[in-house]
Structures are given as C-alpha cells and as structure tokens.
Structure 1
C-alpha cells in the first residue's frame, strides 16, 4: 500500500491506496493547508496535522506505518509555505520530467513517520518576465499531477485545455505531445470566498441548502453579470449583487448566481490572454470543479467567448480525487522504472 497527499491552500487530502489497482481504500481531509503557515508564522501546525491525518487514516484501517511503502505528495506542500520548497520545472513538462525531478526524503526526515516521502515538483511558464512583460508569468503546484491523471484516465485528443475551478481559476495548456505547455491563473475562487466571508454582500446572496438544490442556471443572469463587469468593472459588479436585492424582484439564489457569474465574467480576460499566449482552444476542453461553477464557465466560454469546442465537465468528487491519485501513482511508477 501507499499514500497520496494532495495539499492545497486551506485543506489537505490524504488517500490510502492499494498497489494492485490504485483503489482508494480510505480518505481523510484535514482542515489545514499552507494558509496556516501564513496565519501562524511557521509550518509546524501543517506538519503536525499531516502526521495526525496519516496516523488516523492508518489506525482506522488497522494498518501500521510499516505497511506503507511510501508517501507521494504534490501541491502547495512543495512551496515555500509548505514543508519543503521544490523548484518549479519549466514548461513544457511531461510525466518523465516530473518523475525525474521528484524529491525523495527518508523516513522521519520530512514527517515524523516511519515512511519515506516523495515530493512532486510544480511547473512554471517558460517566459522572460520584466516590468514591461508580466502577463506571461504563471505557476502551478498540484495541478500538474491532476493533468497527468486526466491524460491517462481520459486519453483526450491532443492538444487540449484543462480548466481547474477551485480556489483559483487555472487554465492549463496540454500540447500535441501530451506535455504541460503552460498555464494562466486568476484568484477568482479565493476572492469569491472572501466576499462571502468578509463583506456585507454576503447577506444578499445567502441561500439555504434547499434553495441551493433547487437553484437553476439562468443564462440571462450570467450574461448580465458579464456585461456589467465589462461596463463597470468587477468591484462595482460585486456591489451590484447587493443592490439587486433592493432594485429588482430577485431571489437570493439569483443574486448568488449573478455574483458567481461576475467572477467568471472577469475571468474572460484570462481566456483572452491565454489565446494571445498560444493556448489552443480548438481541441477538447475539460472543466474540473463544482458542477454549478463549471456550468457557468461553460456558458461563458460558448456565449461570451464564442468558443464552440467540445467541453467536458468533471464535477464528481471521486472522479476529481482520481485525477490526483492516477497522476501521482503514474509519476511514482515512472520514477521506479527510471531508477
């Protein structure tokens, strides 16, 4: 058996897997990511919580640390806010390059566990940044592993585009050779979460679980939000989500859809920039994330950007988990072959 760790900004997912078929035996999610390093001024809590998570995962499955061959990890755990900073590889990057530059640690070296750990590097764009040329700068940590998992699990026709809709909106270009050619990212997911947590706009878009279940995608609202962003900018459009409560007969789910669509409308600039950087949108497009958010972006891509390429939504939580697991497992197997 082995363990895969996928560590993000606010959460870390830990999976226990069997070698035979990469079947998920069990999974645990801990509520700590690299944001805790910023909050607490050190990575001690993150390190402790990872050890606790692995220990709990093994205990509830009746396994000892000696039963685990290795841990392979990706994501923000490899950043300067994580447990050990691993330098980014420069695109284009494929599975062989990721495996060759995976950083190994002996048992008890990185984590207080009697299990060796391997860290998968992230990927950055090939660019020569300057104050006059900042648009080409971009990085990823964790998404490279999901990209490998998608290539192996879905075997798309190449080239293709991956759109990761999580704490960020990240567009990933996969070239004809099946390598990560570059990415472009916005902070839309985290900005949206901050609006709901830290501003009075949240009161106008608060919905009940029942309302969320019954909420519909209304194209007219999506298009109105995109137009508002274009005419008035994102910040004023966010405020319009509040004004709508008193200016138009709207429901909270409709106002929430307007706010979510405003974030997507602002990301139109990201798509336009990606096209200028050579991203090929003529092939298959994969949208990965929460179903509603994927549907909003699907509409924006078709109606606002006039891109009619085939789009595929991956929103099932287990299927998204499998992307990271398949990618990490393949990188580990490639590493063992190369060595």
Structure 2
C-alpha cells in the first residue's frame, strides 16, 4: 500500500497543500484562495479550517488514497500564528532541521483532519529582552524557516550564507557555517512598492503596473538604486515622475527605476541592521519570483560586498515551503523510528 506525507502552507491570502510519496516525489497539489487574512476579517478561523480540510480531502479523493495511508501531516507559515489554526511559539535561533523537528507541535484538530497536524514553529532572533534600546535586533519569521531549510538542502549550502526571499515582506535569512539559521531581517518593501505604484502621484508615471519578467530592465533598476542611495527613497520616487515628464516616456522603464529605488532601502538595512550579522565571506542566494529575483541579484552583485551572488530559479513542482515541511516530516519520522529501534 502506498504511503504518503501531506504538507500544508497557509499565508496571508492563500493555502496550499501537497501530497508526497515517501521518495520526495510530489504526487499532487491543491490550492485555496483562503488565508489567515480571512481569520482577521471574520474574527474566527472557520473559513481557514474549511479551506485546509477541503484541500486535504480533495488530494486524497483525487488520488484514491485514504487517511490510513498518511504517515504525517505537516503545517507551516502563518497557520501557526494567533490568526491561524494553532499558535506555536517561535524557536530561538540558531535553529536548523534538528531544532525545528524537536519543537514540532502535534495537535489534533478534528474538524480539519482525523490525524494530528504537526505544526512547524517559526524562528526568532536571539535577543535577551526587547526594549527601546534593543528592538532593532529582534526579528521573526513564520514559513520562511522551511523555505530556508529547503534551499540549504537543495543547493547543498555549506558555510556562511545569506538567503534572500523577496515578497510582500522581504526576508534576509542568515545561515551559519553549521547550516543552521542564525537570524533574519524583514522589510515591507513589497507592500511599499504596491502603495507607491497604486496610491501615490507616481501611479500615473508607471500606469499602476509593476515590473514583469519580460519588462525587466537592469540599467533602469541600477539608476533607481543609485538615485535612492544618493538622495533617499522619497526623492528618488519623485524623480521618477520628473523622468517621465521630461525624459523617459516609457512607463515600464519608470517602474524599473522605482523598483531599484525601493530595493536600495533593503540593501541598506542588510548592511546596517543589528538583526543579522553576515560578513563579506557570506555567499548570497536569491530565491523568489521574477523580477525581484533578478533585481536583487543584479544589485547585490554590483555592490560587491559579498563573496558570491547566486540566483535560485524554481524548477517547477512543489514550492520551497512544501519541500522544507517534507524534510521536517522525514526528520521527525526518522527520529521516531530510531527511538522504537532502541
């Protein structure tokens, strides 16, 4: 009889579930347009529970599988926060597969599935007492820790590294020489860009559109980056409007300029924040979707502050978050098997 592992990843807007066999092969995937934002809006997690249950049941139905064939159900992301299904405390860095698997929270949620769901904790920076003097050193993540585990495994990361995970919130995850997460740094650049592109005077200059993979222009991104480095983000953004009125009529080029200006803030934070400390010997690995991936890689390579810069392009199949959750399922099952063998 075929055996399976189920992984769940719930974010702000979506929930994804993946059905795996025990040889790291993706059997099937299911997605719902319900995330923890619904819990915040509704004041309860009823819709989230229905979405998770629906995804899991659909995967089993579509593949003629039963719950008796499921070895483990794993959950990561904001589903482990107070607006998710079960709130799980963060693990304190440094943390890797061993620490995360040892801190899994198996909880039976009967109106979601008949098996315990193993909730994966997020990771927080090691700061003894957060105060007005130390707050900048603190950072947290939920979901990115499994993406980091997947990248470390898939790319065979050895030695100090910085993992760049762009999105609505960009995460810079620092990895130590032993392959464990030593800390993270978060910015809200994705949200800032959305506001700049849609809700400011710059919206007309970019036609309320973002840079896409086929409209990415490296030179304009670098120009925006340099402008923000010299005069700050606010002035650089207005300079995009000046460019559009007097020199550059193509709105996609202005969007590239604004993208570069916004990302300058991120790289400034990476070099100056006390939240993480990765030196010049660190290797940089940039994941995420295009064009953020290309822009970060181009800018960080141009800066020349790190040992090397590499882009990771997804090969299709399950997202990194699902692979990371699967790796933790493997680790926890192996640990249980080891205990039984003694």
CA distance in 1: counterparts of 2:160 and 2:187, whole angstroms: 22
Q: Shift of the alpha carbon at 1:273?
A: 2.4
**Who is 2:224 aligned against?**
225
Output one character per residue of 1:39-81: Cα deviation in whole Å (capped at 9) or x when no partner.
Answer: 2222222222111222223333333344333310111111112
CA distance in 2: counterparts of 1:308 and 1:159, whole angstroms: 11
So what's the TM-score if we normalise by structure 2?
A: 0.88
**Who is 1:27 aligned against?**
29
Q: 5 Å matches for 1:1-339? A: 1-19=4-22, 21-106=23-108, 108=110, 111-128=111-128, 129-199=130-200, 201-206=202-207, 212=212, 214-219=214-219, 221-274=220-273, 277-303=276-302, 305-316=303-314, 318=316, 321-339=318-336
Aligned-residue Cα RMSD (Å) equals 2.5
Structure 1, unmatched stretches of 5+, are none
CA distance in 2: counterparts of 1:107 and 1:56, whole angstroms: 18
Output one character per residue of 1:310-339: Cα deviation in whole Å (capped at 9) or x when no partner.
Answer: 2221232626x3533332222122222333
CA distance in 2: counterparts of 1:276 and 1:90, whole angstroms: 13
CA distance in 1: counterparts of 2:200 and 2:61, whole angstroms: 41
Q: Is the 8 A contact 1:157 1:284 kept in 2?
A: no
CA distance in 1: counterparts of 2:50 and 2:190, whole angstroms: 27
Q: Is the 8 A contact 1:153 1:326 kept in 2?
A: no
Q: Shift of the alpha carbon at 1:143?
A: 1.2
Q: Which moved more, 1:308-317 or 1:23-32?
A: 308-317
Structure 2, unmatched stretches of 5+, are 337-342
Q: Shift of the alpha carbon at 1:151?
A: 1.8
Q: Is the 8 A contact 2:175 2:182 kept in 1?
A: yes
CA distance in 1: counterparts of 2:201 and 2:66, whole angstroms: 49
Q: Which moved more, 1:252-261 or 1:192-201?
A: 192-201
CA distance in 2: counterparts of 1:236 and 1:52, whole angstroms: 48
CA distance in 1: counterparts of 2:335 and 2:207, whole angstroms: 52
Aligned residues: 332
In structure 2, the residue corresponding to 1:190 is in which secondary structure? helix
In structure 2, the residue corresponding to 1:289 is in which secondary structure? coil
So what's the TM-score if we normalise by structure 1?
A: 0.88
Q: Is the 8 A contact 2:16 2:32 kept in 1?
A: yes
CA distance in 1: counterparts of 2:112 and 2:213, whole angstroms: 43
